Each structure stands twice: as C-alpha cells, then as structure tokens.
Amino acid sequence: MLALVAATGYGVVNHRAERISFTIATGPGSGTYFPAGETIAGLVSHPPGLDRCDKVSVCGPEGLIATAQTSSGSTANVLAVNTGRVDSALAQSNVVGQAVQGTGIFQGRKQTHIRVIAALYPQDVLLVARTKSHIASVAELRGKRVSLGASGSGTAVTARAVLAAYRLRHVHTGFDSADSAAQKLQAGKIDAFFFVGATPAPLVQALLADGQAVLVPIEGEGAEHLIAEGEGLYRDTITPSIYSVAHPVPTLSVESLWIVNDREPADVVYALTRALFDSANRSRLDHGPAGMRSISLKTATKNIPAPLHPGAERFYKEQPKFSLWPF
C-alpha cells in the first residue's frame, strides 16, 4: 500500500516531501507488459528536481517514484493488487473480469478490491497454427499439441477459456512463453499456440511471413459464448494490413488495463491518471512499446469489467465533453 507524507495533500508544493514508492506489476521481462510498465513509470515518476515535472499535471505527486516490477502475468498481478502486495499492475480485461465476478480461475473467490485507472490498449487473441498441421478451426485442435501460454499468464487464462467454450477436452496442452512456443512450433514439437498481445507482434509476423504458420479464426458459437459472458472478451478482426494473411481473420480481443487497489489514496490516483493523459507526455506514448500509441482518453473507460477508482473517475468527469462508458 502506498504511504503518503502526512498532511501534505496532492497539489501543494512540499519541498520536504519524502520519497513515495509506487509499484506497477507487469509480466515477464521478455514480455510486452514490462516495457509498457516501464514507460508508464517514467511518465508518472516525480523525483526532486526533475525539470519536466515543473508543470503540475505532467507527473504524479511530488516525491513519487514509480517502478515497473516483473511478475508471472495477469493472474498473479490481480491477486497482488487485491491484497495490496503491489500498488498497481497491468492485467488483461478478461482476467480482471473473472476476478471481480468470481468465475473461471477465480471461481468462488471474488477479488473485491480491484479498481481500474484506465483501459490502455487492445490485445488480440491469436491462435497460431503450424502450416503443416492443417488446422483451419478451433475445433480441429482436438488431439493436437497446443501451448496455452506461460503458466500464470493472461494468455493461459484466455486459452483455457477458449478451449472450454468450444468444449475441447482431448487436447495435449503445455505451458510455454511466446518465444519458446514459437521455437517449438518451428521445430514441429507443437501444432499450435495461443498468443495474446498488442498488434502487431513481431514474433507472429515472422512466422506468418515465412509461411511456417497460419492464423486460425476464433468465431462461431464458442466465441459468441465468451463475449456474452461479459468477462472482458470482445469481437475483433485481424486485417491483411496487420499480418501476412490473405483474408480478414475473425478473432477476439481483450483490453490491457492499469488496475489499482481500492484503498490507494484518491488524490494519488487522480494525479497518476492526469499525468498519463497530459498532452506533454503524448510523444512518449507514441514512441513507446507496441500498443501504447493507442492509449487515448476517448477509450480510457471503454470495455472495463471492474469499477473505476474514484481518483480516476474524478479526472475523467472533469474532462470537457467526456462521457464515461457504462461499467
């Protein structure tokens, strides 16, 4: 839990302010969440004497030092935020949706202290199949060797949900990082793997461009069932302009969310939200890791499966002509 200097309040210049440590749990060091978390931490940190923070809305509260922390992924992040072991985290919307509803991997264990700062950017759910395995639909995964993603990751949660929605039980599953799964697919050791990430993903692009893999559509009753559950999965389409595909490929997407514990001070979360969307920080987002160019005030509250933190909600309500998307 983040501790503030007593009786200072955000917005008051306090040259005696102590260092305020604020963590952002992300994912494995080789994943896409860690560099995203580092970028956000760099935006909101406000150490003494940092010139770019002279404008009050550019950085977080005075003295705040944000740090991106590696983790095993969305599931671990949700649990850590809910218990207050970390101040905030990045997590997939469908994992957050299961957590607040007490469904899926959180069956009977509602995580009641999760709040949202912002929806950041969409992540496509990709089913990447080895060309030589001749897999044209999710149903054809039956009897195949499929990597579901790293254990504890949002990808693994999503992959399990997809297999369940399509009632696929006789699948030989394994758990690998994206890099490892791609290598195994190239070597013929697996037939397919799931990947959830910002578009475009260079690893997937390379496999498709070389003709070693194809994208399998995620559509039909199984996909519609997942969307109807309201746990943070949404309809999407992969277009030929994004990846090396001849025709549009129906699939699903999730939002990457910046989540926080409900006990974090509202003034702090307000300042963090304001810094994230300050125009002076726009170029850092545009030149940041994959997906961060898509961070926008217009979609900051779209498709969120958990309540906004009061500090973030206050910021959004102050924006001219801004309408909150319904929770």
Q: What is the pLDDT of residues 172-201, one digit of tens each?
A: 999 998 899 999 999 999 999 999 988 888
Residues 81 and 143 grouped into a single domain: no
Rg over CA atoms, the chain? 20
Question: What is the spatial distance between Cα 126 and Cα 128, in angstroms, rounded to a whole number?
Answer: 6
Among residues 254, 279, 294, the one where a domain terminates is 254
Helices 310-318, 266-276: crossing angle, 10 deg rounding: 50
pLDDT tens digits, 42-60? 999 999 888 889 888 999 9
Q: Is 321 exposed, middle or buried (0-12, 13-18, 19+ CB in 10 A)?
A: exposed
Closest CA to 115 of 78, 69, 154: 78
CATH number at residue 129: 3.40.190.10
Question: What is the spatial distance between Cα 283 and Cα 270, in angstroms, rounded to a whole number?
Answer: 21
pLDDT tens digits, 223-256? 999 999 877 889 999 999 888 788 999 999 999 9
pLDDT for the residue 17: 56
The model carries a pTM of: 0.86
DSSP conformation letters of 46-79: --TT-GGGSSTTTSSSTTEEEEEE--S-HHHHHH
Residues 248 and 276 grouped into a single domain: no
Residue-wise over 239-276: b if at least 16 C-beta within 10 A, else e?
A: eeebbbeeeebebbbbbbbbbbbbebbebbbbbbbbbb
Residues 144 and 247 grouped into a single domain: yes
Q: Please give the tally of structural domains in the chain.
A: 2
Nearest 5°: the CA angle 164, 101, 116 is 115
